[in-house]
Amino acid sequence: MIDGMHWQAPEKLNMPVLNSLIKEGTYVRKSYMIIPHHPPTVGGDYSLSNSCSFPNPMLHEGTIFLSPKNKMIQEMISPPKQQTAFVVNTTAYRSVGRGFSTCIMDNSLTDDQTVQQAINLLESQEIRFMRVHLQSPGSLGTNIAMFSEGKPYARDVFGEGSPYVEAIENADRLLGELIDYLKTAGKWESTVLIVTSDHGQSKVGWHPMLDEDSWVTPLVFGGTGIARGDVNSLTLSIPTLRRQLPGCWAWKPRTPAAGGGKSRGRDHGKNGRIILSSSPIYQNHQSANPAIQYSVCPIGFGCREE
């Protein structure tokens, strides 16, 4: 996760690592997120159980119907069976840290130190699912929106000397360090790498609710078994996901039970590792054939029976 990554960042900025992944995997130029509103501004029940903006619990719970009773993806994977980890240099995401077997949230860490912490965990544990979140770009984008008057980059994240640009390009360098480690350690072949953000970035900085750039961010799938191709914008669907992530699926249709009861079926992800994930966990779809419905795990991981 590169916090606050503008959807045009791969095109406008010096991001050789991400652009290399784009050529080798699946690139969604504009991935639409839900509006990134924050508590306590939201108020109500949401603020009682969530410490961060709407997209984050949605990404972990896989639904817009958020509830403290919902299981998050890490809770479906974590011990005693599997190891999971969340590494981020802020405590803002504490509400979505629930259930990780290892959770590091430290405001004092730089982005460089955050990635090093992630690599240390990968060296010492068999991590099956990991979220690594670099907070600096989003924080610096906020500073540009609020405190940049009189600077060459005043209310312009892409302006001359912008610290946002520096942070995004540094995040790309750190992404390269993570990939180099995975390849050197022999873990790349069993890893699905998903690079994205939890929200976009306004050109004037931050992520104001009514600025469409706040809702849109790049999404890149990389690793073994990922198809090559570009998608201009994305609303997740079975054909798209199965076409672009063919190596991540062991899929079985589920047929509605007789008498209108609940249907049964499973989706099993193949063995592997998922890092920097930011994708809804499950979606249910009705096919053109009313006798068959699909229950899929777009990140190709885990199992659910209905």
Mean pLDDT value across the chain: 81
Q: What's the pLDDT score for residue 12?
A: 97
Per-residue pLDDT tens over the stretch 32-48: 999 998 877 666 788 88
Q: What is the arithmetic mean of pLDDT over 11-25? A: 96
Phi first, then psi: give them for residue 56, nearest 5 degrees. Answer: -65, -55
Question: Scanning the structure block, which residue is given the tokens 């981020």?
Answer: 88
Q: What is the arithmetic mean of pLDDT over 179-198? A: 96
Q: How many CB atoms lie within 10 A of CB 80?
A: 5
pLDDT at residue 245 above 60?
no
Q: What's the pLDDT score for residue 248?
A: 52
What count of residues does the chain have? Answer: 306
**Band of residue 153 on the pLDDT scale cut at 50, 70, 90:** very high
Q: What's the pLDDT score for residue 241?
A: 52
Phi first, then psi: give them for residue 267, nearest 5 degrees. Answer: -130, 120
As beta bridge partners, residue 102 has 85
Q: What's the pLDDT score for residue 304?
A: 31
| Bigger pLDDT: 142 vs 240 | 142
What percent of the chain stands above pLDDT 70? 74
Q: What's the angle, vertex CA 26, arms to CA 181 and CA 96, rounded to 5?
A: 65
Per-residue pLDDT tens over the stretch 57-116: 999 999 989 999 999 999 988 767 789 999 999 999 999 999 999 999 999 999 999 999
Question: Scanning the structure block, which residue is given the tokens 């590494």?
Answer: 87
- Domain-wise residue ranges, the chain: 9-233, 238-296
Q: What's the pLDDT score for residue 61?
A: 93
Min mean pLDDT across 21-30, 132-141, 167-176, 263-272 is at: 263-272
As beta bridge partners, residue 33 has none
Q: What's the pLDDT score for residue 71?
A: 93
- CA-to-CA distance for 138 and 44, rounded, in angstroms? 26
Q: What's the pLDDT score for residue 38?
A: 80
Min mean pLDDT across 101-105, 216-220, 270-274 is at: 270-274
What percent of the chain stands above pLDDT 90? 63
What CATH number labels 9-233?
3.40.720.10
Any residues with CB less than 8 A from the CB of 284 and at least 6 apart, and which? 293, 294, 295
